[in-house]
Chains A and B, each alone.
Chain A
């Protein structure tokens, strides 16, 4: 079946540094990918929609200059947390539709990346 991977699985960084998280669709192509953030004991919140070959679409309240998204190819989307601060510490999850044009039921989720900013 379709698999979505994320790298790294966890990262610890100092405040003020930038962190890049990769999301890859391993055996299928994804023109669209989604990035979520999950705080402890809270729900997954959609941050942005990553579009291959065009700009990402951000949800209301998400700073696009803070969370840079690049969808470089049909199998890779990256999320860069710029000038990270402790409040950015969270669990970041990506997903991709396994079927082109498929709805939410076709979403495959990555295992998540835990970010801790000191």
Chain B
């Protein structure tokens, strides 16, 4: 069965500190992983996907198939990064399995 695990419900870091939001997955097929973000009072939106291997707003995420992980990282946290972050696994045609989410709180 597909499963996405985000072990931290809340992660608090100081501004300028490194950030790592953890995500582990289980999936029998070839995984397609995503990170979504939801800022306060805004709708859910895509942050990045593993296939594109891009850096968005300073965030990067590397798919580690050996550890079945897709952790989201940023070297220097900014206050505007405070939001809810969801790791997600693409399964089949357009379907997505979401993790439980991690609330990132950046302390000024």
Which residues does A use to contact B, with CB under 8 Å? 4, 32, 34, 41-46, 49, 93, 95, 97, 102-105, 107, 109-112
Contacts and interface: CB of A to CB of B under 8 A. Distances in A.
Interface in B55-108: 86, 88, 90, 94-101
Interface string B12-51: 0000000000000000000010100000000111100100
A103 B92 CA distance: 9
A110 B43 contact: yes
Given A43-B86, A46-B96, A49-B95, A107 B101 contact: no
A97 B45 CA distance: 12
Of A97, A107, A111, the most chain B CB neighbours within 10 A belong to A107
A46 B43 contact: no
B32 A103 contact: yes
Nearest to B44: A109
Main secondary structure of the interface of B (DSSP, over half): strand
Given A46-B95, A104-B32, 6 more contacts: A41-B9, A43-B4, A49-B95, A105-B49, A109-B45, A111-B43
Interface of B: 4, 9, 32, 34, 43-46, 49, 86, 88, 90, 94-101
A44 to B, nearest CB: 5
Nearest to A32: B94
Contacts of B9: 41
A39 to B, nearest CB: 10
B22 to A, nearest CB: 15
A103 B90 contact: yes
Contact of A102 (B94, B98, B101): B94
A90 to B, nearest CB: 14
28 contacts: A34-B94, A34-B95, A41-B100, A42-B100, A43-B86, A43-B98, A43-B99, A43-B100, A43-B101, A44-B44, A44-B86, A44-B98, A45-B98, A46-B97, A49-B94, A49-B95, A93-B44, A95-B44, A103-B90, A103-B94, A104-B46, A104-B49, A104-B96, A105-B46, A107-B94, A107-B96, A109-B45, A111-B43
